[in-house]
Structure 1
Amino acid sequence: MSLDVTRAEPLHDARQRLEHSRTSRLAQLQALDETRQATEDHLLAGQKTAMERVLKEIEEAFARIEDGTYGTCLACGKPLPAERLEILPYTRYCVACQRRSA
């Protein structure tokens, strides 16, 4: 099996997880927009802002797949654990770097 095939399989899985995350967030945003018509609420506005931020992070993750940097921590440059990418496919940082930035 060539290296390209081995690398392509995890990226295909990552794309699927990202697509699922994007579809879920878009559906949640639509539901919030429908709810928001009935009531203006700061909590709903906060939820919408958070979902829009995650959608931006998802789009950035797609860009990292395209440029070949997906799966690498943007802070320390180390590979991100597969388990972390399964849980948060759009994550930019390893756990240690995420904690340092928080």
Structure 2
Amino acid sequence: MVDDKQGRDKQADDEKQRQRKRELEEARNRTDEAEPVRDNPGEQLGDLDDALGTHDYPATTEELVETYGDYEIETQGGRKPLSEVLAPTDDQTYGSADDVRSRIQGLIHR
């Protein structure tokens, strides 16, 4: 191809077309992916978020499961009770609601 303005414009246009095709292909490949879980813990934790905020700390995993185990949490795999989300956790002690929220976030984003 000739190295002039018209040739460079043609190359740029061709590259834009290739980029659009790549983006469309990537979008098609992502249609089977699960929806990402929202980053706002309050949205994911629902009523549990408020309950954790009013709980007395320090609190253990066992105590939280006993008190709030039936609360539903939005996870990547659908809604699950807190007891199921915290099941893989050893009995830990949390100093605040933020500590509990962080632990839950870490577990549901695995």
TM over 0.5: no
Structure with max Cα Rg = 2
Higher strand fraction (1 or 2): 2
**TM-score normalised by L of structure 2:** 0.30
Higher helix fraction (1 or 2): 1
**TM-score normalised by L of structure 1:** 0.32
